[in-house]
Amino acid sequence: MKYSIEFLQGQIEKDLLSMYDFEENFAVSLLKYSENIIYKVAFKTAEPVVFRIHRLGYHTERELESELIWMNEIARDTDISLPVIYAGRDGRFLQKLVLPDGTVFNCSVISFLYGKAVGELKGERLIAKMRDIGEMTAKLHLQSINRDNSVRLERPHWDCESFFGENAVWGHWQDYSLLTESDRVLFSQCETLIKQKLAHYGKARDRYGIIHADMHFFNIITDGEKDQLIDFDDCGWGYYLYDLGCSLVTYSAALPELTAAWLEGYEKIRKLSDGDKKMLPLFLLLRRIVRLAWLSSHADSDTAKTVGADYLEATRELGEKFLAENKVD
């Protein structure tokens, strides 16, 4: 990254009050550096907020505005808990952070959510929480299916072209540095089969629509009985069941139990067909293979630095099982 975390923090400290009507006494600290750079802004008397600097070139301004529009729809149409979006002094949710050299970052501010990430839970507590996440996901999908499509959302598509195409959103899984030659053969066969099955599965309205596309356990904050969904940065048009793969992408153990718990919770709200259920292993594997591309293209992120060899080994095992249970035409 061209600009250091500390430099950008200094810019926020300098320009925050010109963008937002906040109290003068505040302190800025880094929360996370991943797709975006996320800072916490703490005030002397008011509740803290989260200041997001959106990655240059990742989304257009219209795409970022569409993300915030959809979040507002979800808050209006469902009982899913989301962060509150703060408007700037000019009334707009999207603000500009202008650097001395003329570089302009799109920025937004949302409320700080208390609690801890679901990813910190273990064992039976995690499996129980997975049922709740299944319910949340189904509510999100029903909102997507039933929303007013005359309100256009300009967001990227999560389909085979975006996953595997020449201009794949996150790059190519083949670039992941730890792959062996046998891995390349295995995942190439998996990619071919995934493409075939998705072409047959299709993009009917009950299968493909606007999705969160990053509902992993560290994007869900639990505070007692309340689960709060954050980080809509990757939301876009995609297969609804891809959200399952996103939920479990960081897990290498207990996948059958966690998948069953998610499905149990999901079907309390929205029933899936037998054909949908047969696709669940595909979406679990697909998300893991696509993440190899993300790990390669985001090697300097905090998240990538925490991923160990067990991730690749578990993905290998899922790929071998997927090929054994299916066949390439």
Q: What is the pLDDT of residue 137?
A: 98
Longest dimension (CA), the chain: 65
Task: Say which CATH number the domain at 36 has.
Answer: 3.30.200.20
Calculate mean pLDDT across residues 39-65: 94
Which residue has better confidence, 329 or 176? 176
> Cβ neighbours of residue 210 under 8 Å, at least 6 residues apart?
70, 144, 147, 153, 155, 235, 236, 237
* Whether residue 233 sits in one domain with residue 93: no
Q: What is the pLDDT of residue 34?
A: 76
- Is residue 300 scored above 80 in pLDDT? no
Handedness of CA 291, 244, 57, 169 (dihedral sign): positive
* Whether residue 255 sits in one domain with residue 131: yes
* Whether residue 149 sits in one domain with residue 10: no
Which residue has better confidence, 56 or 238? 238
- Is residue 265 scored above 60 in pLDDT? yes
* Whether residue 154 sits in one domain with residue 299: yes
- DSSP state, residue 215: -
Beta-bridge mates of residue 104: 98
Q: What is the pLDDT of residue 131?
A: 95
Q: Dihedrals φ, ψ of 56, to 5°?
A: -60, 130
* Whether residue 79 sits in one domain with residue 153: no
Q: What is the pLDDT of residue 314?
A: 92
Are residues 142 and 135 in contact, defined by beta-carbon separation less than 8 angstroms? no
Domain end call among 55, 83, 111:
111
Q: What is the pLDDT of residue 1?
A: 62
Percentage above 70 pLDDT, the chain? 99
- Is residue 303 scored above 80 in pLDDT? no
* Whether residue 160 sits in one domain with residue 180: yes
Task: Say which CATH number the domain at 260 has.
Answer: 3.90.1200.10
- DSSP state, residue 231: -
158: nearest Cα among 66, 214, 239: 239
* Whether residue 170 sits in one domain with residue 70: no
In sequence order, which ranges of 215-279 are alpha helices (DSSP H)? 242-248, 255-269, 274-278
Angle, vertex CA 230, rays to CA 227 and CA 235, nearest 5: 125
For residue 328, what pLDDT band results from cuts at 50, 70 and 90?
low
Query: Whole-angstrom Cα distance, residue 293 to residue 290?
Result: 5
* Whether residue 143 sits in one domain with residue 276: yes
For residue 228, what pLDDT band results from cuts at 50, 70 and 90?
very high
Q: Dihedrals φ, ψ of 112, to 5°?
A: -80, 130
* Whether residue 216 sits in one domain with residue 78: no
Percentage above 90 pLDDT, the chain? 84
Q: What is the pLDDT of residue 121?
A: 87
Number of domains the chain is built from: 2
* Whether residue 270 sits in one domain with residue 145: yes
* Whether residue 267 sits in one domain with residue 138: yes
Tens of pLDDT along 89-104?
999 999 999 999 999 9
Query: Whole-angstrom Cα distance, residue 212 to residue 71?
Result: 10
Task: Tell me the two tokens of residue 206.
Answer: 């009950």
For residue 32, what pLDDT band results from cuts at 50, 70 and 90?
confident
Domain end call among 95, 111, 127:
111
Which element (helix H / strand E) includes 238? strand 236-239
Which residue has better confidence, 187 or 226? 187
Query: Whole-angstrom Cα distance, residue 212 to residue 25?
Result: 35
* Whether residue 126 sits in one domain with residue 31: no
Distances (CA, A) of 200 to 24, 132, 188, 197, 233: 57, 30, 19, 5, 29
Q: Dihedrals φ, ψ of 125, to 5°?
A: -65, -40
- Domain range spanning residue 271? 116-325
Which residue has better confidence, 301 or 310? 310
For residue 135, what pLDDT band results from cuts at 50, 70 and 90?
very high
What's the distance, CA 306 to chain centroid?
A: 17
Tens of pLDDT along 149-184?
999 999 999 999 999 999 999 999 999 999 999 999
- Is residue 329 scored above 60 in pLDDT? no
In sequence order, which ranges of the chain are alpha helices (DSSP H)? 5-19, 61-77, 123-146, 160-164, 181-201, 242-248, 255-269, 274-278, 280-297, 309-325
pTM: 0.90
Domain end call among 111, 143, 168:
111
